[in-house]
Amino acid sequence: MFGYYLDLALRSLRRNKVLTALMIVALGLGIGACITTLTVLRLLSGDPLPQKSARLFYAQVDPYTKDGYVAGKTKPQRLMAYADAMNLLHAHQAERQVAIALTNAKVAPLRAGEHPFFSDGVMTTADFFTMFDAPFQYGGGWSAADDESRAQVVVISDFLNDQLFGGASSVGRIIRVNDHDLRIIGVLKHWAPQPRFYTQELGGRSYGDGDAVFLPLQTARAANMDPTNDDCWAVADTSKLETAPCIWLGFWVELSSDAEAAAYRQFLSNYAQQQIALGRFYRPEVALSDLMQWLRNEKVVPDDVRLQAGLAFGFLLICVVNTVGLLLAKCLRRSQEIGVRRALGAMRREIFTQFMVEAGMVGVAGGLLGLAFAEFGLWCIRHQPAEYGGLAHLDIHMFLLTFLVALVSSLVAGLLPAWRASRLAPGSQLKAA
């Protein structure tokens, strides 16, 4: 029976090619727009470390003064001062803890005659690589002892290794960063979690390529490398950021259970109280957000991207209403055919199914076309200047979703026409003929 419906649907669709083409193109455009924007939205709101994000937390305390402070309303500062980061780091109250700042690292060329260039650098502490699951191609990270002794070491990314050393193991080689010689102790495999969660508030991009060089925080500071972003609450000698009244570090901890998270939150709160007692702090607020919560707080997904997705759904809705209208027109035009079929014994249910099959076929065709439009849309986005542009690709989930959206929207569109068709009284239609 299903085969027969398919045959009938094909005949009917072929009978009025313009109308059919109109329906399929409109549906295809709506679906293409939706899938394009949804792919981007999913990409941008994704989990950068799915296996671990629930165990990673961003800690905040607030060293600012009473100026502009409203008790209970003011959120704690989003960055940390050096003294607090070091106190928390050395307290070892979490399984792992890491302080991070970003910097522009001037890398000297290895060959004479080439120009030096700037690379994205990360100034951090020993736990960074294990905590964020950054995989090594050659060598490894540095130790907490290296942090303290300002060891002249550096970890570089796969792409910098390719650029400077042609992809061979460069462990043990020396590169010159900010006019200081550093020994390479590790080379990462490709590592660029999206969104770039650890760069939030630190003055870096939210999406795109990974960072090129990773240095121990104190080594980098000794080499006069400045954080990309800092914020000071009083007149500050910014050449001595370690003691200046400035915040410029992000602080992450790894905690394996809710109980540990609760305990750490309590620890932060106690720390703030203790600092208030010492006269360093005025504000008692602290915060501890898990990775995904932190990304939501940071509003990492640009508003424009969410607006585009909303707009695309509005557009799809218009396309579906359009398809309802055109399907209805088509099916009412065939009143006589329906009358004949009913008179020959077809049940209402069968007429209904027949028209739903026709709507479904429009949906599948619209889905195929929508897929083409989505591929085109994503191609356009890849050629846009946006920092996430290069990442926009259709994956298997979105591929399947395309057909799901297509089928659902075409069947929803087909419901009303099919129901109307199945309600037609056979007698009057035959008489009219």
Partner 1 sequence: MEIRPILASLRKHRIPAVLIVLEIALACAVLCNAVFMIGQRVASIHWSNAIDEQGISVVTVNGADPKRASSEMPRNLVALRGIAGVTAVAAATSMPLDQNPALSPFVAKPDAQTTVNTSVYFIGSDGEQAMGLRLLQGRWFNADEYADSGFKNFSSTGHVALVTQSDANRLWPGQSALGKTLYTNATGWTVVGVVADVLAQDPKFSGPGGMYSSVFFPLQADGVMGDYVLRSTPQDRERVEREAVQVLGKLQPGAVVEGKTYAGMRSDYFADTNSMVWMLVLVCVVMLAVTAFGIVGLTSFWVQQRRRQIGIRRAVGATRGHILSYFRTENFLLSTAGVLIGLALAFGINLFLMDHYEMDRMPWYYLPGGAIALWLLGQVAVLGPALRAANVPPVVATRSV
Burial of 176 (0-12, 13-18, 19+ CB in 10 A): middle
Least CB distance from residue 381 to partner 1, whole Å? 9
Helix axis angle for 396-423 and 17-44, nearest 10°, is 140
Least CB distance from residue 295 to partner 1, whole Å? 17
CB neighbour list of residue 223: distance below 8 Å, 6 or more residues apart: 177, 178, 179, 180, 215
| Interface region with partner 1, contact rule CB under 8 A, candidates 180-188, 257-265, 268-276, 309-317 | 309-317
Question: How far is residue 177's CA from residue 215's CA, in Å, rounded to a whole number?
Answer: 10
Determine, following the binding rule CB under 8 A, whether residue 270 of this chain makes contact with partner 1.
no
Select from 9, 13, 24, 26 the one that contacts partner 1 (CB under 8 A).
Answer: 26
Determine, following the binding rule CB under 8 A, whether residue 317 of this chain makes contact with partner 1.
yes
The answer to whether 422 and 67 are in contact (CB under 8 A) is: no
The answer to whether 160 and 213 are in contact (CB under 8 A) is: yes
Least CB distance from residue 144 to partner 1, whole Å? 30
CB neighbour list of residue 373: distance below 8 Å, 6 or more residues apart: 28, 29, 31, 32, 33, 35, 36
Give the tokens for residue 284: 């008692």
Determine, following the binding rule CB under 8 A, whether residue 328 of this chain makes contact with partner 1.
yes
Task: Write out the binding residues for partner 1, residues 368-407 only, by CB under 8 A.
Answer: 384-386
Determine, following the binding rule CB under 8 A, whether residue 135 of this chain makes contact with partner 1.
no
Helix axis angle for 335-343 and 348-382, nearest 10°, is 140
Least CB distance from residue 21 to partner 1, whole Å? 10
CB neighbour list of residue 167: distance below 8 Å, 6 or more residues apart: 158, 161
Burial of 156 (0-12, 13-18, 19+ CB in 10 A): buried
| Interface region with partner 1, contact rule CB under 8 A, candidates 95-103, 122-130, 310-318, 344-352 | 310-318
Least CB distance from residue 204 to partner 1, whole Å? 12
Cβ proximity to partner 1, 268 vs 391, nearer residue: 391
Cβ proximity to partner 1, 89 vs 351, nearer residue: 351
Size of the site for partner 1 (CB under 8 A): 52
Determine, following the binding rule CB under 8 A, whether residue 340 of this chain makes contact with partner 1.
no
Strand segments (E) across 264-401: 287-290
Determine, following the binding rule CB under 8 A, whether residue 258 of this chain makes contact with partner 1.
no
Cβ proximity to partner 1, 344 vs 433, nearer residue: 433
| Antiparallel, parallel or unpaired: β 56-60 and 213-216 | unpaired
Task: Write out the binding residues for partner 1, residues 153-182 only, by CB under 8 A.
Answer: 178-179
The answer to whether 316 and 30 are in contact (CB under 8 A) is: yes
Would you give the binding string for partner 1 spanning residues 68-87, x where CB under 8 A is met? Answer: x-------------------
Question: How far is residue 8's CA from residue 346's CA, in Å, rounded to a whole number?
Answer: 14
Cβ proximity to partner 1, 194 vs 336, nearer residue: 336
Burial of 150 (0-12, 13-18, 19+ CB in 10 A): middle
Select from 304, 344, 345, 431 the one that contacts partner 1 (CB under 8 A).
Answer: 304
Burial of 368 (0-12, 13-18, 19+ CB in 10 A): middle
Question: How far is residue 327's CA from residue 329's CA, in Å, rounded to a whole number?
Answer: 5
Cβ proximity to partner 1, 54 vs 412, nearer residue: 412
Task: Write out the binding residues for partner 1, residues 190-249 only, by CB under 8 A.
Answer: 232, 234-238
> What's the full length of the chain, in residues?
433
Cβ proximity to partner 1, 318 vs 404, nearer residue: 318
Question: How far is residue 352's CA from residue 370's CA, in Å, rounded to a whole number?
Answer: 26
Determine, following the binding rule CB under 8 A, whether residue 325 of this chain makes contact with partner 1.
yes
Mapping DSSP to helix (H, G, I), strand (E, B) and coil, where does residue 395 land?
A: coil
Least CB distance from residue 155 to partner 1, whole Å? 21
Least CB distance from residue 145 to partner 1, whole Å? 30
| Interface region with partner 1, contact rule CB under 8 A, candidates 93-101, 277-285, 298-306, 402-410 | 298-306
Select from 13, 24, 31, 33 the one that contacts partner 1 (CB under 8 A).
Answer: 33
Give the tokens for residue 427: 């007698």
Cβ proximity to partner 1, 130 vs 229, nearer residue: 229
Residue numbers at the binding site for partner 1 (CB under 8 A): 19, 22, 26, 29-30, 33, 67-68, 104, 106, 108, 115-118, 178-179, 232, 234-238, 303-304, 306-308, 311-312, 314-315, 317-319, 321-322, 324-326, 328-330, 332-333, 384-386, 416, 420, 432-433
